[in-house]
Structure 1
Amino acid sequence: MILFPLALAAAVQASPKPAAKTPPPPSAALPADPREARYQHCVVMAERSPATARMEASSWTLAGGGYFAQQCLGLAYTTERQWAAAASAFEQAARAAETAHDIRAANYWSQAGNAFLAAGDAAKARAALDAALASGDLTGFARGEAQLDRARALVAAGQPVAARVDLDAALVNAPADPLAWLLSATLARRMKDLPRAQKDIAQALARSADDPNVQLEAGNIAATAGDEATARKAWSEAARLAPPDSPIRAETAKALSQFPSR
Protein backbone atom coordinates (compact mmCIF):
# COMPACT_ATOMS: atom_id res chain seq x y z
CA MET A 1 0.00 0.00 0.00
CA ILE A 2 1.19 3.52 -0.81
CA LEU A 3 0.75 5.70 2.25
CA PHE A 4 -0.30 9.31 1.83
CA PRO A 5 0.90 11.73 4.52
CA LEU A 6 -1.24 14.63 5.63
CA ALA A 7 -0.25 18.01 4.32
CA LEU A 8 -0.04 19.41 7.85
CA ALA A 9 -1.11 22.72 6.37
CA ALA A 10 1.12 25.67 7.26
CA ALA A 11 2.94 23.62 9.88
CA VAL A 12 6.12 25.58 9.55
CA GLN A 13 4.29 28.89 9.60
CA ALA A 14 1.84 28.19 12.43
CA SER A 15 3.16 27.53 15.88
CA PRO A 16 1.25 25.00 17.99
CA LYS A 17 2.06 26.96 21.11
CA PRO A 18 0.94 30.49 21.99
CA ALA A 19 2.35 33.17 19.77
CA ALA A 20 3.82 36.49 20.83
CA LYS A 21 6.26 34.83 23.21
CA THR A 22 8.01 36.95 25.79
CA PRO A 23 11.69 36.13 25.26
CA PRO A 24 14.20 36.39 28.08
CA PRO A 25 16.20 39.63 28.16
CA PRO A 26 19.41 39.98 26.17
CA SER A 27 22.55 38.78 27.88
CA ALA A 28 23.92 42.30 28.15
CA ALA A 29 23.00 44.08 31.38
CA LEU A 30 19.83 46.12 31.08
CA PRO A 31 20.07 49.71 32.26
CA ALA A 32 18.21 50.56 35.46
CA ASP A 33 15.02 52.48 34.87
CA PRO A 34 12.63 53.98 37.43
CA ARG A 35 9.69 52.82 35.30
CA GLU A 36 10.57 49.15 35.87
CA ALA A 37 8.38 48.64 38.96
CA ARG A 38 5.29 50.03 37.28
CA TYR A 39 6.08 47.95 34.23
CA GLN A 40 6.23 44.72 36.26
CA HIS A 41 2.86 45.56 37.82
CA CYS A 42 1.42 46.19 34.35
CA VAL A 43 2.73 42.85 33.06
CA VAL A 44 0.99 40.96 35.86
CA MET A 45 -2.17 42.91 35.11
CA ALA A 46 -1.88 42.06 31.39
CA GLU A 47 -2.05 38.37 32.23
CA ARG A 48 -4.90 38.62 34.74
CA SER A 49 -7.04 41.45 33.34
CA PRO A 50 -5.90 42.52 29.87
CA ALA A 51 -8.66 45.12 29.46
CA THR A 52 -7.54 46.84 32.66
CA ALA A 53 -3.91 46.59 31.56
CA ARG A 54 -4.74 48.23 28.24
CA MET A 55 -6.28 51.17 30.04
CA GLU A 56 -3.29 51.40 32.37
CA ALA A 57 -0.80 51.18 29.50
CA SER A 58 -2.64 53.79 27.44
CA SER A 59 -2.80 56.31 30.28
CA TRP A 60 0.81 55.54 31.18
CA THR A 61 1.87 56.19 27.58
CA LEU A 62 0.34 59.67 27.79
CA ALA A 63 2.17 60.18 31.08
CA GLY A 64 5.56 59.31 29.62
CA GLY A 65 5.69 55.53 30.03
CA GLY A 66 7.40 55.22 26.67
CA TYR A 67 8.41 51.80 25.45
CA PHE A 68 7.67 50.20 28.84
CA ALA A 69 4.02 51.19 28.49
CA GLN A 70 3.89 50.18 24.81
CA GLN A 71 5.32 46.75 25.52
CA CYS A 72 2.81 46.19 28.30
CA LEU A 73 0.06 47.21 25.91
CA GLY A 74 1.35 44.62 23.46
CA LEU A 75 1.25 41.93 26.14
CA ALA A 76 -2.35 42.84 27.01
CA TYR A 77 -3.36 42.54 23.36
CA THR A 78 -1.50 39.22 23.21
CA THR A 79 -3.54 37.83 26.09
CA GLU A 80 -6.65 38.82 24.16
CA ARG A 81 -5.22 37.25 20.98
CA GLN A 82 -5.49 40.57 19.15
CA TRP A 83 -2.34 39.85 17.19
CA ALA A 84 -2.27 42.81 14.80
CA ALA A 85 -2.76 45.28 17.64
CA ALA A 86 -0.11 43.48 19.70
CA ALA A 87 2.36 43.59 16.83
CA SER A 88 1.80 47.33 16.37
CA ALA A 89 2.36 48.00 20.07
CA PHE A 90 5.55 45.93 20.16
CA GLU A 91 6.80 47.65 17.01
CA GLN A 92 6.22 51.07 18.55
CA ALA A 93 8.06 49.93 21.69
CA ALA A 94 10.98 48.72 19.57
CA ARG A 95 11.29 51.98 17.65
CA ALA A 96 11.13 54.04 20.83
CA ALA A 97 13.75 51.86 22.51
CA GLU A 98 16.03 52.13 19.48
CA THR A 99 15.75 55.92 19.59
CA ALA A 100 16.77 55.76 23.26
CA HIS A 101 19.64 53.35 22.43
CA ASP A 102 18.15 50.81 24.85
CA ILE A 103 19.04 47.16 24.17
CA ARG A 104 15.48 46.14 25.06
CA ALA A 105 14.68 47.08 21.46
CA ALA A 106 15.88 43.66 20.28
CA ASN A 107 13.35 41.86 22.46
CA TYR A 108 10.57 44.18 21.36
CA TRP A 109 11.37 43.55 17.69
CA SER A 110 11.35 39.81 18.38
CA GLN A 111 7.94 40.05 20.02
CA ALA A 112 6.65 42.19 17.16
CA GLY A 113 7.81 39.59 14.65
CA ASN A 114 6.12 36.78 16.54
CA ALA A 115 2.87 38.72 16.78
CA PHE A 116 2.98 39.62 13.07
CA LEU A 117 3.31 35.90 12.32
CA ALA A 118 0.26 35.16 14.45
CA ALA A 119 -1.57 37.92 12.59
CA GLY A 120 -0.67 36.30 9.26
CA ASP A 121 1.66 39.05 8.04
CA ALA A 122 4.87 37.20 7.19
CA ALA A 123 6.47 40.17 5.40
CA LYS A 124 6.24 42.46 8.43
CA ALA A 125 7.30 39.56 10.65
CA ARG A 126 10.44 39.09 8.57
CA ALA A 127 11.31 42.80 8.77
CA ALA A 128 10.87 42.88 12.54
CA LEU A 129 12.89 39.71 13.08
CA ASP A 130 15.65 40.96 10.79
CA ALA A 131 15.90 44.02 13.03
CA ALA A 132 15.94 41.89 16.19
CA LEU A 133 18.71 39.61 14.93
CA ALA A 134 20.77 42.37 13.31
CA SER A 135 21.05 44.22 16.61
CA GLY A 136 23.42 41.63 18.07
CA ASP A 137 21.69 42.01 21.45
CA LEU A 138 19.90 38.64 21.35
CA THR A 139 21.93 35.63 22.42
CA GLY A 140 21.26 32.04 23.44
CA PHE A 141 17.64 30.95 23.71
CA ALA A 142 16.24 34.38 22.82
CA ARG A 143 18.26 34.45 19.61
CA GLY A 144 17.20 30.89 18.79
CA GLU A 145 13.52 31.77 19.18
CA ALA A 146 13.91 34.75 16.85
CA GLN A 147 15.68 32.57 14.30
CA LEU A 148 12.88 30.03 14.57
CA ASP A 149 10.26 32.69 13.92
CA ARG A 150 12.21 34.10 10.98
CA ALA A 151 12.37 30.62 9.51
CA ARG A 152 8.58 30.45 9.70
CA ALA A 153 8.35 33.80 7.91
CA LEU A 154 10.76 32.61 5.22
CA VAL A 155 8.75 29.44 4.60
CA ALA A 156 5.62 31.56 4.25
CA ALA A 157 7.51 33.64 1.67
CA GLY A 158 8.47 30.52 -0.29
CA GLN A 159 12.15 30.55 0.70
CA PRO A 160 12.74 27.07 2.19
CA VAL A 161 16.52 27.10 1.65
CA ALA A 162 16.93 30.31 3.66
CA ALA A 163 14.52 28.94 6.25
CA ARG A 164 16.70 25.86 6.60
CA VAL A 165 19.66 28.05 7.57
CA ASP A 166 17.68 29.80 10.30
CA LEU A 167 16.18 26.56 11.60
CA ASP A 168 19.63 24.96 11.87
CA ALA A 169 20.81 27.98 13.87
CA ALA A 170 17.69 27.83 16.06
CA LEU A 171 18.42 24.19 16.90
CA VAL A 172 21.84 25.24 18.16
CA ASN A 173 20.61 28.20 20.21
CA ALA A 174 17.28 26.81 21.45
CA PRO A 175 17.65 23.00 21.38
CA ALA A 176 15.19 22.52 24.25
CA ASP A 177 12.28 23.94 22.23
CA PRO A 178 10.34 21.02 20.70
CA LEU A 179 8.76 23.37 18.17
CA ALA A 180 12.17 23.95 16.59
CA TRP A 181 12.63 20.21 16.07
CA LEU A 182 9.05 19.79 14.83
CA LEU A 183 9.36 22.52 12.24
CA SER A 184 12.79 21.31 11.21
CA ALA A 185 11.37 17.83 10.65
CA THR A 186 8.42 19.22 8.69
CA LEU A 187 10.66 21.32 6.47
CA ALA A 188 12.98 18.38 5.86
CA ARG A 189 10.03 16.23 4.79
CA ARG A 190 8.84 18.95 2.42
CA MET A 191 12.35 19.20 0.98
CA LYS A 192 12.40 15.40 0.56
CA ASP A 193 15.20 14.88 3.07
CA LEU A 194 13.65 11.87 4.78
CA PRO A 195 16.66 10.87 6.96
CA ARG A 196 16.80 14.41 8.39
CA ALA A 197 13.04 14.44 8.92
CA GLN A 198 13.17 11.14 10.82
CA LYS A 199 16.08 12.31 12.95
CA ASP A 200 14.46 15.61 13.89
CA ILE A 201 10.97 14.25 14.59
CA ALA A 202 12.59 11.79 17.01
CA GLN A 203 14.01 14.78 18.88
CA ALA A 204 10.60 16.48 18.91
CA LEU A 205 8.96 13.31 20.25
CA ALA A 206 11.60 13.01 22.97
CA ARG A 207 10.70 16.51 24.16
CA SER A 208 6.96 16.71 23.54
CA ALA A 209 5.32 13.38 22.77
CA ASP A 210 2.06 14.66 24.27
CA ASP A 211 1.71 17.36 21.58
CA PRO A 212 -0.78 16.27 18.89
CA ASN A 213 1.09 18.35 16.30
CA VAL A 214 4.25 16.38 16.96
CA GLN A 215 2.42 13.06 16.71
CA LEU A 216 0.70 14.24 13.52
CA GLU A 217 4.01 15.02 11.87
CA ALA A 218 5.52 11.77 13.14
CA GLY A 219 2.73 9.99 11.27
CA ASN A 220 3.37 12.08 8.16
CA ILE A 221 7.04 11.17 8.15
CA ALA A 222 6.34 7.51 8.78
CA ALA A 223 3.84 7.53 5.92
CA THR A 224 6.42 9.11 3.63
CA ALA A 225 8.79 6.29 4.57
CA GLY A 226 6.09 3.68 3.84
CA ASP A 227 5.88 2.56 7.48
CA GLU A 228 2.16 1.85 7.91
CA ALA A 229 2.33 0.59 11.50
CA THR A 230 4.17 3.65 12.79
CA ALA A 231 2.04 6.05 10.78
CA ARG A 232 -1.17 4.45 12.07
CA LYS A 233 0.06 4.57 15.67
CA ALA A 234 1.22 8.20 15.49
CA TRP A 235 -1.94 9.48 13.76
CA SER A 236 -4.14 7.62 16.24
CA GLU A 237 -2.22 9.19 19.10
CA ALA A 238 -2.54 12.64 17.51
CA ALA A 239 -6.30 12.19 17.32
CA ARG A 240 -6.43 11.03 20.94
CA LEU A 241 -4.42 14.02 22.17
CA ALA A 242 -6.14 16.70 20.09
CA PRO A 243 -9.06 18.71 21.55
CA PRO A 244 -12.50 17.64 20.28
CA ASP A 245 -12.87 20.72 18.07
CA SER A 246 -9.32 20.55 16.66
CA PRO A 247 -8.93 20.15 12.87
CA ILE A 248 -6.33 17.50 13.68
CA ARG A 249 -9.20 15.11 14.50
CA ALA A 250 -10.61 15.41 10.98
CA GLU A 251 -7.18 15.27 9.35
CA THR A 252 -6.13 12.12 11.14
CA ALA A 253 -9.47 10.46 10.45
CA LYS A 254 -8.94 11.12 6.76
CA ALA A 255 -5.40 9.78 6.89
CA LEU A 256 -6.38 6.67 8.80
CA SER A 257 -9.19 5.94 6.36
CA GLN A 258 -6.63 4.80 3.80
CA PHE A 259 -5.98 1.74 5.97
CA PRO A 260 -8.25 -1.30 5.84
CA SER A 261 -10.34 -1.55 9.02
CA ARG A 262 -9.14 -4.00 11.64
Structure 2
Amino acid sequence: MPVILPLLMFMQAYDPEVEAVMRNSRRKKEDAAAASASAASAARAAAVQAKPAAADGRIPVPAKYAGPFQACLDLAVESPDKAIAFAEKWRIDGGSFYARHCMGFALTRAERWGAAIVAFEQAADEAERSGEIVQSARLWAQAGNAALVSGDAAKARSDFDAALARGLPDGLEKGELHLDRARALVAQGDSEAARDSLDIALAQAPQDPLAWLLSATLARRTGEMALAQAHIARAVQLSPDDASVALEEGNIAILTDHADIARAAWQRAAKVAPDSSAGKAATDNLDRLDPAPPASRPAG
Protein backbone atom coordinates (compact mmCIF):
# COMPACT_ATOMS: atom_id res chain seq x y z
CA MET A 1 0.00 0.00 0.00
CA PRO A 2 1.51 3.41 -0.94
CA VAL A 3 2.57 5.77 1.80
CA ILE A 4 -0.08 8.38 1.00
CA LEU A 5 0.55 11.01 3.71
CA PRO A 6 4.20 11.78 2.85
CA LEU A 7 3.25 11.92 -0.81
CA LEU A 8 0.51 14.41 -0.13
CA MET A 9 2.90 16.52 1.93
CA PHE A 10 5.46 16.49 -0.86
CA MET A 11 2.95 17.37 -3.55
CA GLN A 12 2.43 20.71 -1.84
CA ALA A 13 6.13 21.50 -2.36
CA TYR A 14 5.87 21.35 -6.14
CA ASP A 15 3.57 24.05 -7.46
CA PRO A 16 2.57 23.61 -11.12
CA GLU A 17 1.20 27.15 -11.18
CA VAL A 18 4.63 28.49 -10.25
CA GLU A 19 6.20 26.27 -12.88
CA ALA A 20 3.62 27.53 -15.38
CA VAL A 21 4.45 31.14 -14.57
CA MET A 22 8.11 30.57 -15.34
CA ARG A 23 7.36 28.57 -18.47
CA ASN A 24 4.94 31.24 -19.63
CA SER A 25 7.49 33.95 -18.91
CA ARG A 26 10.02 32.17 -21.08
CA ARG A 27 7.38 31.71 -23.77
CA LYS A 28 6.53 35.42 -23.71
CA LYS A 29 10.21 36.29 -24.18
CA GLU A 30 10.45 33.83 -27.06
CA ASP A 31 7.29 35.28 -28.61
CA ALA A 32 8.68 38.80 -28.38
CA ALA A 33 11.92 37.67 -30.01
CA ALA A 34 9.88 36.08 -32.78
CA ALA A 35 7.96 39.32 -33.13
CA SER A 36 11.25 41.08 -33.65
CA ALA A 37 12.16 38.75 -36.49
CA SER A 38 8.78 39.24 -38.17
CA ALA A 39 8.48 43.01 -37.73
CA ALA A 40 9.97 43.79 -41.13
CA SER A 41 7.60 41.41 -42.92
CA ALA A 42 4.70 42.91 -40.98
CA ALA A 43 5.74 46.35 -42.20
CA ARG A 44 5.78 45.14 -45.79
CA ALA A 45 2.36 43.61 -45.35
CA ALA A 46 1.03 46.87 -43.95
CA ALA A 47 2.52 48.80 -46.84
CA VAL A 48 1.03 46.66 -49.61
CA GLN A 49 -2.41 45.93 -48.24
CA ALA A 50 -5.11 47.98 -46.57
CA LYS A 51 -6.49 45.14 -44.47
CA PRO A 52 -7.03 45.89 -40.74
CA ALA A 53 -5.40 42.65 -39.66
CA ALA A 54 -2.77 40.21 -40.85
CA ALA A 55 -3.59 36.69 -42.00
CA ASP A 56 -3.00 35.30 -38.51
CA GLY A 57 -5.43 37.79 -36.96
CA ARG A 58 -2.75 40.09 -35.55
CA ILE A 59 -2.71 43.75 -36.48
CA PRO A 60 0.42 44.54 -38.53
CA VAL A 61 2.91 47.08 -37.21
CA PRO A 62 2.58 50.17 -39.42
CA ALA A 63 5.57 50.75 -41.69
CA LYS A 64 6.33 54.01 -39.86
CA TYR A 65 7.10 52.11 -36.64
CA ALA A 66 8.17 48.66 -37.83
CA GLY A 67 11.85 49.41 -38.43
CA PRO A 68 12.58 51.06 -35.06
CA PHE A 69 10.40 48.48 -33.31
CA GLN A 70 12.39 45.63 -34.82
CA ALA A 71 15.67 47.34 -33.95
CA CYS A 72 14.53 47.95 -30.38
CA LEU A 73 13.39 44.36 -29.83
CA ASP A 74 16.61 42.99 -31.30
CA LEU A 75 18.62 45.26 -29.05
CA ALA A 76 16.61 44.17 -26.00
CA VAL A 77 17.61 40.56 -26.62
CA GLU A 78 21.29 41.53 -26.79
CA SER A 79 21.45 44.37 -24.23
CA PRO A 80 18.35 45.28 -22.23
CA ASP A 81 19.92 48.47 -20.84
CA LYS A 82 20.74 49.77 -24.32
CA ALA A 83 17.24 48.91 -25.49
CA ILE A 84 15.72 50.81 -22.58
CA ALA A 85 17.69 53.91 -23.59
CA PHE A 86 16.74 53.38 -27.25
CA ALA A 87 13.04 53.03 -26.38
CA GLU A 88 13.05 56.14 -24.20
CA LYS A 89 14.60 58.26 -26.95
CA TRP A 90 12.25 56.79 -29.54
CA ARG A 91 9.27 57.54 -27.29
CA ILE A 92 10.31 61.19 -27.07
CA ASP A 93 10.78 61.25 -30.84
CA GLY A 94 7.24 60.00 -31.47
CA GLY A 95 7.45 56.23 -31.19
CA SER A 96 3.88 56.02 -29.87
CA PHE A 97 2.89 52.97 -27.83
CA TYR A 98 5.33 50.81 -29.80
CA ALA A 99 8.22 52.53 -28.01
CA ARG A 100 6.60 51.87 -24.63
CA HIS A 101 5.91 48.28 -25.70
CA CYS A 102 9.59 47.71 -26.44
CA MET A 103 10.48 49.46 -23.19
CA GLY A 104 8.35 46.93 -21.33
CA PHE A 105 9.95 44.04 -23.18
CA ALA A 106 13.46 45.33 -22.46
CA LEU A 107 12.60 45.73 -18.78
CA THR A 108 11.36 42.12 -18.62
CA ARG A 109 14.64 41.01 -20.19
CA ALA A 110 16.36 42.85 -17.34
CA GLU A 111 13.90 41.24 -14.88
CA ARG A 112 12.84 44.68 -13.65
CA TRP A 113 9.28 43.55 -13.25
CA GLY A 114 7.78 46.58 -11.50
CA ALA A 115 9.05 48.99 -14.13
CA ALA A 116 7.96 46.59 -16.88
CA ILE A 117 4.41 46.54 -15.52
CA VAL A 118 4.27 50.34 -15.63
CA ALA A 119 5.67 50.45 -19.18
CA PHE A 120 3.17 47.91 -20.49
CA GLU A 121 0.26 49.65 -18.75
CA GLN A 122 1.30 53.01 -20.18
CA ALA A 123 1.61 51.41 -23.61
CA ALA A 124 -1.88 49.93 -23.23
CA ASP A 125 -3.36 53.30 -22.31
CA GLU A 126 -1.65 55.01 -25.25
CA ALA A 127 -2.77 52.28 -27.65
CA GLU A 128 -6.37 52.73 -26.50
CA ARG A 129 -6.17 56.50 -26.95
CA SER A 130 -4.93 55.82 -30.48
CA GLY A 131 -7.98 53.66 -31.17
CA GLU A 132 -6.01 50.38 -31.12
CA ILE A 133 -8.27 48.55 -28.68
CA VAL A 134 -7.10 45.01 -29.47
CA GLN A 135 -3.47 46.08 -29.17
CA SER A 136 -4.36 47.70 -25.85
CA ALA A 137 -5.84 44.40 -24.64
CA ARG A 138 -2.64 42.57 -25.56
CA LEU A 139 -0.50 45.10 -23.72
CA TRP A 140 -2.67 44.85 -20.60
CA ALA A 141 -2.15 41.07 -20.81
CA GLN A 142 1.62 41.55 -20.96
CA ALA A 143 1.46 43.81 -17.92
CA GLY A 144 -0.46 41.07 -16.13
CA ASN A 145 2.14 38.47 -16.97
CA ALA A 146 4.92 40.71 -15.69
CA ALA A 147 2.96 41.15 -12.46
CA LEU A 148 2.40 37.40 -12.17
CA VAL A 149 6.10 36.64 -12.58
CA SER A 150 6.88 39.29 -9.96
CA GLY A 151 4.59 37.53 -7.48
CA ASP A 152 1.87 40.21 -7.39
CA ALA A 153 -1.20 38.09 -8.12
CA ALA A 154 -3.67 40.86 -7.26
CA LYS A 155 -2.06 43.24 -9.74
CA ALA A 156 -1.93 40.47 -12.34
CA ARG A 157 -5.64 39.79 -11.93
CA SER A 158 -6.44 43.48 -12.30
CA ASP A 159 -4.41 43.76 -15.50
CA PHE A 160 -5.87 40.57 -16.98
CA ASP A 161 -9.37 41.88 -16.22
CA ALA A 162 -8.45 45.13 -17.98
CA ALA A 163 -7.31 43.12 -21.01
CA LEU A 164 -10.53 41.12 -21.12
CA ALA A 165 -12.59 44.31 -20.80
CA ARG A 166 -11.01 45.61 -24.03
CA GLY A 167 -11.87 42.41 -25.85
CA LEU A 168 -10.01 39.87 -27.93
CA PRO A 169 -11.39 37.72 -30.74
CA ASP A 170 -12.33 34.16 -29.89
CA GLY A 171 -9.53 31.65 -30.21
CA LEU A 172 -6.14 30.74 -28.83
CA GLU A 173 -5.15 34.23 -27.71
CA LYS A 174 -8.30 34.69 -25.63
CA GLY A 175 -7.86 31.20 -24.21
CA GLU A 176 -4.28 31.97 -23.14
CA LEU A 177 -5.45 35.16 -21.46
CA HIS A 178 -8.06 33.28 -19.44
CA LEU A 179 -5.42 30.69 -18.55
CA ASP A 180 -3.14 33.45 -17.27
CA ARG A 181 -6.03 34.94 -15.30
CA ALA A 182 -6.82 31.55 -13.78
CA ARG A 183 -3.23 31.24 -12.54
CA ALA A 184 -3.51 34.62 -10.85
CA LEU A 185 -6.80 33.58 -9.23
CA VAL A 186 -5.31 30.31 -7.98
CA ALA A 187 -2.47 32.30 -6.43
CA GLN A 188 -5.09 34.43 -4.66
CA GLY A 189 -6.92 31.36 -3.41
CA ASP A 190 -10.07 32.02 -5.47
CA SER A 191 -10.66 28.51 -6.81
CA GLU A 192 -14.22 29.14 -7.94
CA ALA A 193 -13.31 32.08 -10.18
CA ALA A 194 -10.22 30.21 -11.38
CA ARG A 195 -12.43 27.32 -12.47
CA ASP A 196 -14.61 29.69 -14.50
CA SER A 197 -11.57 31.11 -16.33
CA LEU A 198 -10.06 27.66 -16.85
CA ASP A 199 -13.28 26.40 -18.42
CA ILE A 200 -13.17 29.30 -20.88
CA ALA A 201 -9.49 28.62 -21.56
CA LEU A 202 -10.25 24.98 -22.34
CA ALA A 203 -13.01 26.00 -24.75
CA GLN A 204 -10.91 28.67 -26.48
CA ALA A 205 -7.55 26.86 -26.51
CA PRO A 206 -8.38 23.14 -26.44
CA GLN A 207 -4.99 22.14 -27.90
CA ASP A 208 -2.97 23.71 -25.08
CA PRO A 209 -1.80 20.93 -22.72
CA LEU A 210 -0.97 23.49 -20.02
CA ALA A 211 -4.64 24.44 -19.76
CA TRP A 212 -5.64 20.80 -19.21
CA LEU A 213 -2.77 20.30 -16.74
CA LEU A 214 -3.73 23.28 -14.58
CA SER A 215 -7.40 22.35 -14.80
CA ALA A 216 -6.58 18.84 -13.57
CA THR A 217 -4.42 20.24 -10.77
CA LEU A 218 -7.17 22.58 -9.61
CA ALA A 219 -9.69 19.75 -9.73
CA ARG A 220 -7.41 17.57 -7.60
CA ARG A 221 -7.00 20.34 -5.04
CA THR A 222 -10.75 20.88 -4.81
CA GLY A 223 -11.49 17.15 -4.54
CA GLU A 224 -13.11 16.76 -7.97
CA MET A 225 -11.20 13.59 -8.75
CA ALA A 226 -13.27 12.39 -11.72
CA LEU A 227 -12.71 15.75 -13.41
CA ALA A 228 -9.02 15.65 -12.48
CA GLN A 229 -8.65 12.20 -14.07
CA ALA A 230 -10.42 13.25 -17.27
CA HIS A 231 -8.44 16.44 -17.70
CA ILE A 232 -5.03 14.97 -16.92
CA ALA A 233 -5.76 12.23 -19.45
CA ARG A 234 -6.29 14.94 -22.08
CA ALA A 235 -3.05 16.67 -21.05
CA VAL A 236 -1.16 13.37 -21.38
CA GLN A 237 -2.68 12.83 -24.82
CA LEU A 238 -1.54 16.28 -25.97
CA SER A 239 1.88 16.25 -24.31
CA PRO A 240 2.95 12.71 -23.35
CA ASP A 241 6.61 13.63 -22.82
CA ASP A 242 6.05 16.64 -20.53
CA ALA A 243 7.45 15.97 -17.06
CA SER A 244 4.97 18.32 -15.35
CA VAL A 245 2.06 16.50 -16.96
CA ALA A 246 3.47 13.11 -15.99
CA LEU A 247 4.05 14.25 -12.42
CA GLU A 248 0.45 15.42 -12.06
CA GLU A 249 -0.82 12.21 -13.68
CA GLY A 250 0.97 10.32 -10.92
CA ASN A 251 -0.34 12.65 -8.21
CA ILE A 252 -3.91 12.07 -9.31
CA ALA A 253 -3.41 8.34 -9.77
CA ILE A 254 -2.02 7.84 -6.26
CA LEU A 255 -5.02 9.66 -4.76
CA THR A 256 -7.44 7.46 -6.70
CA ASP A 257 -5.80 4.20 -5.58
CA HIS A 258 -3.92 3.49 -8.81
CA ALA A 259 -0.39 3.03 -7.49
CA ASP A 260 0.75 1.20 -10.63
CA ILE A 261 -0.29 4.12 -12.85
CA ALA A 262 1.30 6.58 -10.43
CA ARG A 263 4.59 4.68 -10.48
CA ALA A 264 4.66 4.55 -14.28
CA ALA A 265 3.82 8.24 -14.61
CA TRP A 266 6.46 9.33 -12.09
CA GLN A 267 9.03 7.10 -13.75
CA ARG A 268 8.26 8.80 -17.06
CA ALA A 269 8.61 12.26 -15.50
CA ALA A 270 11.92 11.36 -13.89
CA LYS A 271 13.21 9.91 -17.17
CA VAL A 272 12.27 12.71 -19.57
CA ALA A 273 13.44 15.62 -17.37
CA PRO A 274 15.50 14.34 -14.42
CA ASP A 275 16.95 17.76 -13.56
CA SER A 276 13.68 19.72 -13.73
CA SER A 277 11.55 20.57 -10.70
CA ALA A 278 8.90 18.13 -11.89
CA GLY A 279 11.42 15.38 -12.54
CA LYS A 280 12.99 15.76 -9.10
CA ALA A 281 9.57 15.77 -7.44
CA ALA A 282 8.65 12.59 -9.32
CA THR A 283 11.88 10.91 -8.21
CA ASP A 284 11.18 11.85 -4.61
CA ASN A 285 7.65 10.48 -4.88
CA LEU A 286 8.99 7.21 -6.27
CA ASP A 287 11.35 6.93 -3.31
CA ARG A 288 8.36 7.21 -0.99
CA LEU A 289 6.38 4.45 -2.65
CA ASP A 290 6.47 0.90 -1.39
CA PRO A 291 8.59 -1.32 -3.66
CA ALA A 292 6.76 -2.73 -6.66
CA PRO A 293 5.53 -6.27 -6.07
CA PRO A 294 7.75 -8.92 -7.71
CA ALA A 295 6.54 -10.30 -11.01
CA SER A 296 4.82 -13.64 -10.60
CA ARG A 297 6.70 -16.63 -12.00
CA PRO A 298 4.94 -18.98 -14.41
CA ALA A 299 3.88 -22.27 -12.87
CA GLY A 300 6.11 -25.29 -13.48
Q: Same fold (TM over 0.5)?
A: yes
CA contact (8 A) 1:14 1:152 kept: no
Alignment of structure 1 residues 204-243 onto 2, 5 Å: 204-242=235-273
Gaps of 5+ in 1: none
1:94 aligns with 124
Amino acid of the structure 2 residue aligned with 1:223? I
- Evaluate the alpha carbon distance shift between residue 51 and residue 239 of structure 1 in structure 2; reply closer, same or farther with a 3 A threshold: farther
Extract unaligned runs of 5+ from structure 2: 36-52, 293-300
Mapped to 1, the partners of 2:279 and 2:58 lie a distance apart of 45
Q: CA deviation at 1:202?
A: 1.4
Q: Could you list the per-position Cα deviations for residues 130-172 of structure 1 after superposition, in whole angstroms to 9, with x for gaps in the alignment?
A: 0100112343211111111111111111110111010000011
Of the candidates 144, 149, 172, which is equivalent to residue 118 of structure 1? Answer: 149
TM-score of the two chains, using structure 1 as the length reference: 0.88
Q: What CA distance in whole angstroms lies between the structure 2 residues aligned with 1:178 and 1:212?
A: 12
The residue identity in structure 2 corresponding to 1:106 is A
Rg (Cα) greater in structure: 2
| Correspondence for 1:186 | 217
User: Which sits farther off after the overlay, 224-233 or 125-134?
Assistant: 224-233
- Aligned partner of 2:16 in structure 1 is 11
1:49, CA displacement in angstroms?
4.0
Deviation at 1:195, TM superposition (A): 1.3
Residue 250 of structure 1, CA deviation: 4.0
TM-score (norm 2): 0.78
Calculate the aligned-residue CA RMSD, in Å: 2.5
Distance 1:229 1:248, change over 3 A: same
Q: Distance in 2 between matches of 1:191 and 1:259?
A: 24
Equivalent residues, number = 261
Which structure features the higher share of helix residues? 2
Matched, 1:133 2:139: no
Native 8 Å contact 1:151 1:163 kept in 2: yes
Percent identical pairs in the alignment equals 43
2:61 aligned with 1:55, yes or no? no
Q: Distance in 1 between matches of 2:167 and 2:267?
A: 44
Aligned to 2:189: 158
After TM superposition, what 4+ stretches of structure 1 lie above 6 angstroms from structure 2? 23-26
Distance 2:213 2:84 in 1: 34
Moved more, 183-192 or 235-244: 235-244
Distance 2:107 2:272 in 1: 29
- How far is 1:248 from its partner? 3.2
**Distance in 2 between residues matched to 1:85 and 1:191, nearest whole Å:** 36
Shift of 1:226: 1.3
Output the CA distance in 2 between the equivalents of 1:152 and 1:218: 19
> In the TM superposition, what is the alpha-carbon distance from 1:13 to its structure 2 partner?
4.9
User: Is this contact kept in 2: 1:13–1:155, CA < 8 A?
Assistant: no
Q: Deviation digits for residues 231-254 of structure 1, max 9, x if unmatched? A: 11111222223353x333442233
* Number of the residue aligned with 2:139: 108
